[in-house]
Structure 1
Amino acid sequence: MQPDSVDVDEPLAVDVPPAPHDASGERVPIRDLAGLAPPPRPARRWTPRRVVATPAALDHPHGRRIVGRVEALGIEVERLRANRLTGLRGETERETYARAKSTLAIVVSPPSRRRLQPIAPSADWRVDLAEGCPAHCQYCYLAGSLSGPPVTRVYADLDEILDGLAEYAGRGTVTSRDARRAEEGTTFEASCYTDPLALEHLTGSWRRAVEHFAGWDAPVQLRWTTKYDDVGTFVGLAHAGRTRVRFSVNCLPVSTRFEGGTSPVPARLAALRRLALDGYPVGLTIAPIIALPDWRTHYGELLDLVAAAVDGVPGLDLTAELITHRFTPGSREVLLGWYPRTRLEMDETRRSRKHGKFGAVKFVYPRETMTELRSWFTAELTARVPACRILYWT
């Protein structure tokens, strides 16, 4: 489903397509599907139905650059009279969701976002260039984390955000002080609340961030992750090895059923290969790992795809971040409002209750399941993709 076309009366879940078979009727392993794949297609790009810009955003050069990019694509930009977003709510929660998800707002970042926060275990600091995502992932981690309708906001004060990063260099507690990851330097995570490649053709923000870090003569690294494959504007860009692009991937039953509006996993892995061949440090974010029936087979096929994608890449710098599926009572309620007929398992009675450092409750897999998953992924990644370094498991 295209990310800008949500029918509020129909479920967003789709059936998993049947596995391909050869002429003898035998199931074709996913690692042998390259010859059966369709010809390459243009990268999927989101076209918002409504784009608005606040007066404050238009005071910033980058805000005006975004407006210019959007209008050059033939999309009308509505100049608001005040720095407040309106017209996002529908008569039902699903209508509000659909309306907000098809809206792009060009705004100035709130002051709280300019005060960087640690983002363990991923990176030293979280830096936000946008908030919101046009994809339709039924396990969305933003549900319950962001307040109000899920409109996508892009920040016009990009230049000020990037200029303010220098004071945080060397002050982190994740990579800055971890001997195992010391070569990464001070790390800045720029995709906590958004997907960069879903928005880059509209904003140009992450290309400018890559160039900023390339010219920053210090032990620093920009990090972001994506479920898209539109990497053309990053190939050939001077990056100095200071940007690690990670691709969020999952097994076929999860990616086809629960990740609406995103690029297919093989396309994401092809994009990973393009960037790796261009000298970028790259990574896998395998998330959310779901203990679905026959999960070993499905995730084994995924790891075989990864191995094929990175085969023969010289000087490969590949990492993996392994994140199991979890949810909070609040996110569960929001997700069921957005996707009332989802088949995603969110049964609190089948999970273990875990408390965060501030007392927040989340529901994770029981210890036995977590141990089994972790042991398998650690062993299989090491065996199938030996060049890959596992950064963390959670």
Structure 2
Amino acid sequence: MRSLPGARPLLEVATIHAEPAALASARGQEVLARFPDAEVVEIASHWRIPDLHGAEENVARWARVKAEHLVLGVKKTLTVRPSGRSADFIAPSTANGCAMACAYCYVPRRKGYANPITVFTNIDAISRSIARHVARQGPKTGPNGPGPNQCDASDWVYDIGENSDCSVDARVSDNVADLVALFARLDGAKASFATKHVNRDLLDLDPRGGTRVRFSLMPRRDAQLLDIRTSSIDERIGAVDDFLAAGYEVHLNFSPVVLRERWQSEWAALLDELTERLSPAAKAQAACEVILLTHHEGLHDVNLGWHPRAEDVLWRPEAQEAKRTGQGGAVVRYRVEVKRRAVARFRELVARHAPWLTIRYAF
């Protein structure tokens, strides 16, 4: 595992909480071998760890818990779910949680007071479920297929990183490497994941065009305040052409767009930088998604305990309203008219400053 020059290690695992079945598995043993000095604590369920999820005092150590703790579990539900925005389908997760600490991340909403990485060790069962699902679909562009859509012109796209950041997960286990290898050999399908972490070990894999990496970007002022423990915006932009040369498809993820003073000029500057720095080859295959901030009252309360400055820009009741998601959860988003105008303005910014960039969707 390559180290990050000049940075404190993203992972300093001191305690591994493990379900017995996960601990006994081959993948679980491989993870233990990566962190030989860690204390191993057996748990009944990766969802219920009182010392982590139920301990309110962990909020003050939100980021340190992410670095020092790791969880091993077995993924029980192997359902492939339909999506339709950045991917046609959501693959069963091979991990949940993250070692990074983005202040707006939705994943902690179900975890309580701590959200370290949970690695699911039954990767073989997960891979088989994905391969069976791909086989059932048939060609996307065949006589009986639906044809091109905003996800992809020819392949079925499977999001493999809904609840984690795969670039970070790859520093913990070989789950991501296994999925990249799987999609390299599956005809008519590709994996996709968004990331805020540049893991150059992934350049040593052989994706053969079967994996789409979506580098998440935002203006530097936003990233410095909100993207805690992530790779810098400069690193992420600098990785685009390298990942393309290694055989990945590389798209961009503008998320979240936070509406605050100077947001338009700062996004324009970022788009100008992309136009200047990316190669013609990168621009020719690139597309992006634009996602305005969605927040959550529970996460707001957690953030007040460890990073209250973030809430100065994330929590704006005068411009936000409550909303019920498709999964039944309650969130806070920008008011309909505020959001409508902002999306229209963002499309104008892209058209002016990065006309080469296709917007797959914006909301």
TM-score category of the 2 structures, normalised to the smaller one:
0.7 to 0.9
Of the three residues 378, 384, 387, the one matched with 2:353 is: 384
Displacement of 1:79 after TM fit?
A: 3.1
Counterpart of 2:222, as a letter, is V
- Which residue is equivalent to 1:78? 39
Aligned-partner SS, 1:68? helix
Q: Is the 8 A contact 1:213 1:222 kept in 2?
A: yes
1-structure distance, mates of 2:292, 2:124: 35
Could you say if the C-alpha distance between residues 306 and 82 of structure 1 is closer, same or farther in structure 2, counting changes exceeding 3 Å? same
Of the three residues 246, 265, 269, the one matched with 1:297 is: 265
1-structure distance, mates of 2:175, 2:9: 16
Of the three residues 346, 363, 369, the one matched with 2:338 is: 369
2-structure distance, mates of 1:315, 1:393: 19
Of the three residues 328, 350, 375, the one matched with 2:319 is: 350
- Which residue is equivalent to 1:194? 164
Greater RCO structure (CA 8 Å; 6+ sep): 1
Could you say if the C-alpha distance between residues 289 and 150 of structure 1 is closer, same or farther in structure 2, counting changes exceeding 3 Å? same
Of the three residues 70, 86, 106, the one matched with 1:141 is: 106
2:241 maps to 1:276 = no
Could you say if the C-alpha distance between residues 145 and 310 of structure 1 is closer, same or farther in structure 2, counting changes exceeding 3 Å? farther
Q: Is the 8 A contact 1:285 1:322 kept in 2?
A: yes
Could you say if the C-alpha distance between residues 314 and 294 of structure 1 is closer, same or farther in structure 2, counting changes exceeding 3 Å? closer
Gaps in structure 1 of 5+ consecutive residues? 1-39
Note the 1:89-238 alignment, pairs <5 A. 90=55, 92-95=57-60, 97-98=62-63, 100-112=65-77, 114-127=78-91, 128-147=93-112, 149-169=114-134, 171=137, 177=146, 179-181=148-150, 182-216=152-186, 218-231=187-200, 233-238=201-206
CA RMSD of aligned residues (A): 2.9
> Runs (4+) of structure 1 moved beyond 6 Å?
none
Q: Is the 8 A contact 1:285 1:320 kept in 2?
A: yes
Deviations 1:337-367 (A, max 9, x none): 4434432331223223433345544322233
1-structure distance, mates of 2:64, 2:238: 32
The count of aligned residue pairs is: 347
Gaps in structure 2 of 5+ consecutive residues? none
Displacement of 1:157 after TM fit?
A: 1.2
Could you say if the C-alpha distance between residues 41 and 163 of structure 1 is closer, same or farther in structure 2, counting changes exceeding 3 Å? same
Counterpart of 1:180, as a letter, is N
Displacement of 1:213 after TM fit?
A: 0.9
TM value normalised by structure 1 = 0.78
2-structure distance, mates of 1:86, 1:284: 38
Deviations 1:295-315 (A, max 9, x none): 111001111222233223368
Percent identity (aligned): 22
TM value normalised by structure 2 = 0.84
Aligned-partner SS, 1:111? coil
Deviations 1:97-118 (A, max 9, x none): 3563234434233313x22323
Q: Is the 8 A contact 2:295 2:333 kept in 1?
A: yes
